[in-house]
Structure 1
Amino acid sequence: MPKRTGVADLPLHTGTVPRWLADRMRDLGRLIAESIVENYGKKEFLVRLSDPLWFQSFGAVLGMDWHSSGITTSVMYALKCALNPIANEFGIYVCGGRGKFSRETPAELLQIADRTGVDGNMLSMTSRLCAKVDNTAVQDGFQLYQHNFIVTDEGDWAVVQQGMNVSERAARRYHWCSSNLRSFVENPHTAVVGENCGDILNLTDGRADKTRNSILELSHENPDRMMREIRQMVNPSSSVVVPSQLDLFNPPPAPVDLSRFSHDPILVNSSRDCIMPRHHEVLPEDVDLKRLGAVLATAYESNPKSFENLLLTPGLGPRTLQSLTLVSEVINGTPSRFRDPARYSFAHGGKDGHPFPVPCRIYDESIRILGDSIEKAKLGDRDKLECLNRLHTTQLAVEEFCEPLADFDKTLEHEKSHSKEWGGRTVGD
């Protein structure tokens, strides 16, 4: 059964993704999706997409700005361009998009139903319900402007949609998954990602069942009678006592002391919700320095020859291993690994130069090596893919037994000093 799995609050950023990055995001996004499906199956890929923290980390490893609202649009567009051309054999379709493209989702789902035999009418209704819940039943000040519906040829689905609050300059991303949803109108979400903007009207709260039933009953009442009663309720001289409905409004959460989160700067609750900070640059407190240290130790302190033999890739250098280790973690990591999405920007940087320009030559090497491993796996030779997966295992071992701590400033200095050598580019180039 389906369930809304999370919500993310993000600073609202404007701008475009340059073609040189968009093409790389498409190619690496497809390969990561294929690797997850190859290792864990199609349902697991939908579960990953429905985790707001994994999604944020995925966008960061693709070279997008690690925390901005633009990750949602750019990542989903990249996946749509990457997966739909191979959907007949891959079995995963991406529908919808931003603005007018979101309204094309029902028609796209009916076309997919004709090709695969899934219930297109049910999926179209599900798409509309997910949008209605987040836009109407939950009135939190964010108006939906993007809706993506991801569906497999077996009928499993996930939804990633985003709303905008212009006055607060903030975006809120909502995640759904067909696993474990029991009701669209009572506690359907497992997580929502966004910044608290005050009181909200939440008719999906479990405590609002009486109010939902009352609204349903009111819809059947005689309009003249309803108008008479409303006039009585708003008349100050009326003796009618109006029952309080304040319990429908969720009070803002108490302020959280960020200093308590030495390695978890992103606010997260048990439902995988998260709140991304406003600052654009990557700061030391945004990153779990122990985990980043394990990545760097895996890449730079191990014997390069052993990894060269392991991956069967002549000339593979430490910097490419750094990227591949983070890519391997995105493919194989458990949910607890993604509480600091900023760390994944140390794979391929960010288009705005935070934490450093996108190293295009390293990015291309990551695509080439991962692509080659997947192609060999399709032919029955899984050795190279398993070697890439073991990069994450190696990282975990280093993290557990060596407890390395990254020097944040020296790491950034190293990246920037080699940026030209590695083909570093930003959106302004």
Structure 2
Amino acid sequence: MARRAGSADLPLHGGRVPAWLGERMTRLGTLIAEAIVLHEGRDAFLARLAHPFWFQSFGAVMGMDWHSSGITTSVIGALKRGLNPRANELGIRVCGGRGKHSRATPAELAAAGDAAGFDGIALAQASRLVAKVDSAAVQDGFDLYLHGFFVTDEGKWAVVQQGMNGANKTARRYHWLSDGLTSFVESPHSGIEGRRQGEIVNLADRRADASRSAQLRLLAELGPDRLAREAAALERGTVTSDCPQPLLPHLVMPDHHDVRANDVILRRLHGTLAAAADAGPRDFPELLLVPGVGARTVRSLAMVAEVIHGAPCRFADPARFSLAHGGKDRHPFPVPTKVYDKTIGVLKAAVEQAKLGQDEKLAAIRRLDDQARRLERYVSGPSFEAVIAEERARSHEYGGRSVFGHEPAPSPDAGAAQAGRSAVVT
């Protein structure tokens, strides 16, 4: 039986992803998906999409706002642009999206079924049921506005959909996975993200079976008008329940835009820094075949490698993955486009060679993740604030860019203070 995996708060943010970042997100997101499929198969990729903590980390490593609701829209959009043109090769299709695109999901699934050979009509019905459960059976104050349906050629699927509460300026993301799903109305969720905001009516819980049956009997016996009057009377009273809620992981994405030290598990960050600075360039020559790749790119690759290979427990601090490629709003620092492009270049070369049976580079990226995990057990490093300060100080050298534009070169005084420093090698 699929189960609820956890919850998290997501501040509701507006805005658009700039084209220069959206194009990079499409390329990197597609490469990460392809690497996972190569290593573990399509089912493993669906399972990751259905994990709320992993999904947030995935968006953060691609340079989106690390804590906001916009990650959901941008990740689904990037994967739809990147995976659908290669659906015949990778065997994964993305349907739906935000607003009007979500309403096109059933038609897109029917077309995908015709192309791949699965029952698209049946999955279109599944799509409608999934949306119905999270909009009607789970009455938690959030109105659905986004529905993304990921389906493989075998007909297995994952759904990521999101609702908003405009009054509280928050969003809640819901995750579904077809693997192990036997009922749409008995605890079907693989995960739900969002803040508890008062009492939630969850008729999709397995413990609500008696309630669902009673409602059907009442509807037959009393009729809708009588039920409406009874419901109004009940609202004037207080309903209590002695049925305890299960203890689940709860990821709280804060309202503050800046990434702070308490948002990150520092020992894991120190392991990544040590692997990149000390072990990366020396011990992983396979990663240095792309000209100009140095410790800074290896650091980003180590975080990408963790997104590809990491166990669920590794994603308790999604903010840490924003230190790979920054954020479009300058938090934790502007997107280092030169580093980003080199990360894409190395990963692309590794994936292409792995498809030809030469997996040395892809194996090296995995070893880099293993090295970072070993080092984090005993290494120390600079403070979180020092890491961010260094990144911001060198942002111009790294091709730093945000929605506010390109990062300017430092002032002459600041440049003089840094005289004598060696040329940057990203």
What TM-score does the superposition give when structure 1 sets the normalisation length? 0.89
Task: Give the corresponding residue for 2:189.
Answer: 189
Amino acid at match of 2:329: D
What's the offset of the Cα at 1:272?
A: 4.5
* Letter of the structure 2 residue corresponding to residue 41 of structure 1: G
SS, match of residue 185 in structure 1:
coil
Query: Residue type matched to 1:72 in 2?
Result: T
User: For residue 95 of structure 1, what is the aligned residue in structure 2?
Assistant: 95
Equivalent residue for 1:414?
A: 390
CA contact (8 A) 1:42 1:152 kept: yes
1:57 — aligned with what? 57
The reply to whether residue 423 of structure 1 matches residue 377 of structure 2 is no
Match of 2:329 in 1: 352
Change (3 A) 1:6 1:182: farther
Q: How far apart in 1 are the matches of 2:22 and 2:242?
A: 41
Aligned CA distance change for structure 1 residues 211 and 306 (closer, same or farther; 3 Å): closer
Describe the SS at the equivalent of 1:422: coil
- AA matched with 1:349: G
Counterpart in 2 of 1:138? 138
3-state SS, counterpart of residue 96 of structure 2: strand
Pair 1:374 & 2:351 matched: yes
Pick aligned residue for 1:323 from 274, 294, 300: 300
Seen in structure 2, the aligned counterparts of structure 1 residues 94 and 310 have a Cα distance that, compared at 3 Å, is closer
The amino acid of 1:424's aligned partner reads G
AA paired with 2:375?
V
How far is 1:406 from its partner?
A: 4.2
Residue 301 of structure 1 aligns to a residue whose secondary structure is: helix
In the alignment, structure 1 residue 288 sits paired with structure 2 residue 265: yes
Superposed CA deviations along residues 103-123 of structure 1, whole A, max 9, x for unmatched, are: 110111111111111111221
**What is the aligned partner in structure 2 of residue 178 from structure 1?**
178
- How far has the Cα of 1:208 moved from its partner? 2.1
Q: Which residue of 2 aligns with 1:108?
A: 108
Partner of 2:29: 29
Q: What are structure 1's unaligned runs of at least 5 residues?
A: 236-240, 254-268
Letter in 1 for 2:54: W
| Structure 2 unaligned spans of 5+ | 406-426
Q: Which residue of 1 aligns with 2:312?
A: 335
Q: Is the 8 A contact 1:6 1:50 kept in 2?
A: no
Deviations 1:143-202 (A, max 9, x none): 000000000001110000000000000000000011222321122223211112111212
- Report the Cα offset of residue 67 of structure 1: 0.5
Q: CA 1:156/1:248 → structure 2, altered by over 3 Å: closer, same or farther?
A: farther
| Alpha-carbon displacement from aligned partner over 1:273-302 (angstroms, at most 9, x marks no partner) | 422111111000000000000111111123
Q: How many matched pairs?
A: 405
Query: Does structure 1 conserve the Cα–Cα contact (< 8 Å) formed by 2:57 and 2:315?
Result: yes
1:246 aligned onto 2:222: no
Give the TM-score normalised by structure 2.
Answer: 0.89
State the match for 1:9 in structure 2.
9
Q: Report if aligned partners of 1:173, 1:192 keep a CA contact under 8 Å in 2.
A: yes
Secondary structure of 1:36's counterpart equals: helix
Give the partner amino acid of 1:246: V
Q: Cα RMSD (Å) of the superposition?
A: 2.4
Residue type at the aligned position of 1:359:
P
**Matched residues, percent identical?**
53
Instruction: Give how far 1:218 is off.
Output: 2.9
Shift in alpha-carbon separation, 1:68–1:41, aligned structure 2, 3 A: same
Q: Which amino acid aligns with 2:239?
A: L
Of 256, 270, 287, 1:279 maps to 256
Question: After alignment, is 106-115 or 117-126 more displaced?
Answer: 117-126
- Alpha-carbon displacement from aligned partner over 1:293-350 (angstroms, at most 9, x marks no partner): 0111111123624333565445421100110000000001100000000000010000
